[in-house]
């Protein structure tokens, strides 16, 4: 008997897959009323569901546990399973057992969704029947199909934590910065989780600009200042213009890409390097770079109203993400009003506050961390808002031209269901302001 832990999107996909394979299982969730409970009972009637606090009896007659990534290793059910030597398996490992096509894995603290989506579009433009999923869009198991020629998966550290066997054609760890430290004993533990991706890769792609990622001889490297060798990807500045390179070959101008910010130059280099590793057509890849506008809620341009541009960067749930967004906009705009706040993660915000104090005109603070953030911001004007609509209205009143940026540097769950909900609330508030 198999046990599926967690009735979220991933747990539901595991259950659906096991049912299709006629593999006997039961399901448990520590919540008394999981959000998807009604939908699950309708789609998979007859499957035993246990809700509420974990009980040791859940493991009776169980030979393997399939676990949702949101369940921490410190939870009692995980500890009990390990004490009984019951195998704990991620949906990614289960996916790998059944995949008949090559898999590319992408992880990192920041940028992994952008690189995953861009590489997927490059593959499709090159004529490959491609599925994009994992920690972005569809769960991996929902992507399985005999028609697919290539799988491109975004992988979170949580998914990697529960994965022991995985076959990747190639993969990359984009970067590593402090994140999810409420889930890990230390930053070193989190780093180890991210780097574990490389043990599953047939071909390695490595970012030389990330000091925490060790360079390897048998790997292809990329970086903003990558030394020019035949297989490596980088950039070069010549006569005031910057270009993407493979070795000595110029691929396209950096100013031809739709995305903004140096971090997106690195993201594009990662996608080009991965694509080259799997034999994608270079002209198709550069064509995608020239048209790719990025993902929703990731430094997403919303609109321009009376000289003020609005950007939605709701996905920025840590300090570095917000710093990255601000630096991308500071290079082009003098007046920036930042909307920030929410549930602050266990990390230092000193560099963020220094940047705000130096280069941001004003900050509208929302959510649980508003008072804490105000203590660190002593140069830029600060105001508090209780709702997103109020935040946008206050921000708009602070400048006549420039940028209003939602980039919270915090999780969203104090005011919103998730970062998507927060970003959509911002877009609705911006649209409402248009008619005021």
**What local confidence, expressed as pLDDT, does residue 204 receive?**
95
Those residues whose C-beta lies under 8 Å from the C-beta of residue 51, and which sit 6 or more positions away, are: 28, 29, 30, 31, 32, 33, 34, 37
What domain range includes position 350? 300-434
Angstrom distance (rounded) from CA 385 to CA 244: 42
| CB 236, CB 242: distance < 8 Å | yes
191 & 329 share domain: no
Output the CA–CA distances (angstroms, integers) from residue 221 to 280, 328, 388, in the order listed: 17, 24, 42
Tokens of 433: 């302001």
Query: Is this structure's pTM higher than 0.85?
Result: yes
Compute the average pLDDT of residues 105-121.
95
185 & 237 share domain: yes
105 & 253 share domain: yes
**What local confidence, expressed as pLDDT, does residue 435 receive?**
61
227 & 310 share domain: no
Question: Among the three residues 244, 261, 291, which one is the final residue of a domain in this structure?
Answer: 291
- Domains in the chain, number: 3
**What local confidence, expressed as pLDDT, does residue 217 receive?**
74
Give 353-379 pLDDT, tens digit per residue.
999 999 999 999 999 999 999 999 999
43 & 105 share domain: no
| CB 65, CB 82: distance < 8 Å | no
Give 56-90 pLDDT, tens digit per residue.
999 999 999 999 999 999 999 999 999 999 999 99
Task: Flag whether pLDDT at 229 surpasses 90.
Answer: no
Instruction: State whether the Cα torsion 64-67-73-78 is positive or negative.
Output: negative
Question: Among the three residues 258, 291, 324, which one is the final residue of a domain in this structure?
Answer: 291
Angstrom distance (rounded) from CA 335 to CA 400: 9
Question: Among the three residues 241, 268, 291, which one is the final residue of a domain in this structure?
Answer: 291
Strands 87-89 and 64-67: parallel
Give 310-354 pLDDT, tens digit per residue.
999 999 999 989 999 999 999 888 899 999 999 998 889 999 999
The candidate with the shortest Cα–Cα distance to 338, out of 356, 353, 314, 321, is: 356
Output the CA–CA distances (angstroms, integers) from residue 228 to 170, 250, 263, in the order listed: 22, 11, 20
Residue 50: strand, helix, or coil? strand
190 & 310 share domain: no
**What local confidence, expressed as pLDDT, does residue 306 receive?**
84
Give 1-40 pLDDT, tens digit per residue.
999 999 999 999 999 999 999 999 999 999 999 989 999 9
340 & 209 share domain: no
Q: Which residues are catalytic?
A: 112, 135, 180
DSSP character string of 384-414: E-SSHHHHHHHHHTT-SSEEEEE--SSB-TT
Task: Flag whether pLDDT at 228 surpasses 90.
Answer: no
| CB 90, CB 247: distance < 8 Å | no
């Amino acid at each position: 008997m198999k046990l599926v832990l967690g009735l979220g999107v991933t747990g539901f996909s595991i259950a659906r897959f096991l049912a299709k394979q006629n593999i006997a299982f039961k399901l448990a969730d520590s919540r008394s009323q999981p959000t998807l409970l009604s939908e699950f009972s309708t789609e998979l009637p007859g499957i035993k569901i246990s809700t509420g606090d974990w009980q040791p009896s859940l493991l009776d007659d169980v030979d393997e546990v399939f676990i949702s990534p949101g369940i921490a290793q410190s939870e009692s059910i995980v500890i009990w399973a390990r004490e009984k030597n019951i195998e704990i398996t991620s949906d990614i490992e289960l996916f790998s057992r059944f995949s008949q096509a090559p898999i590319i894995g992408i992880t990192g603290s920041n940028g992994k969704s952008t690189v995953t989506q861009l590489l997927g579009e490059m593959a499709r433009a090159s004529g490959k029947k491609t599925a994009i999923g994992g920690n972005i869009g569809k769960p991996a198991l929902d992507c399985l199909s005999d028609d697919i020629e290539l799988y491109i998966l975004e992988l979170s550290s949580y998914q990697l934590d529960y994965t022991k066997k995985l076959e990747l054609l190639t993969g990359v760890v984009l970067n590593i910065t402090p994140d999810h430290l409420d889930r890990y004993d230390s930053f070193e533990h989190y780093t180890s989780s991210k780097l574990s991706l490389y043990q599953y890769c047939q071909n390695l792609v490595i970012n030389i600009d990330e000091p925490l990622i060790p360079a390897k001889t048998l790997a292809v490297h990329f970086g903003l200042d990558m030394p020019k060798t035949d297989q490596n990807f980088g950039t070069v500045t010549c006569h005031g213009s910057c270009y993407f390179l493979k070795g000595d070959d110029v691929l396209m101008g950096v100013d031809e890409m739709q995305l903004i910010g140096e971090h997106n130059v690195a993201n594009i280099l990662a996608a080009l390097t991965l694509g080259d590793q799997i034999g994608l057509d270079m002209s198709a890849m550069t064509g995608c770079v020239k048209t790719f506008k990025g993902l929703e809620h990731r430094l997403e341009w919303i609109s321009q109203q009376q000289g003020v541009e609005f950007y939605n960067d709701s996905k920025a749930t840590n300090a570095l993400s917000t710093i990255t967004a601000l630096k991308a906009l500071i290079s082009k705009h003098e007046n920036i009003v930042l909307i920030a706040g929410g549930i602050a993660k266990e990390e230092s915000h000193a560099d963020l506050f220094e940047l705000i104090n130096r280069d941001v005109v004003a900050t509208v603070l929302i959510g649980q961390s508003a008072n804490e953030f105000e203590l660190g911001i002593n140069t830029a004007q600060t105001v508090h808002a209780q709702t997103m609509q109020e935040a946008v209205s206050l921000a708009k009143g602070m400048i006549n031209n420039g940028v209003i940026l939602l980039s919270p540097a915090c999780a969203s769950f104090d005011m919103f269901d998730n970062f998507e909900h927060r970003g959509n609330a911002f877009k609705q508030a911006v649209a409402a302001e248009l008619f005021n």
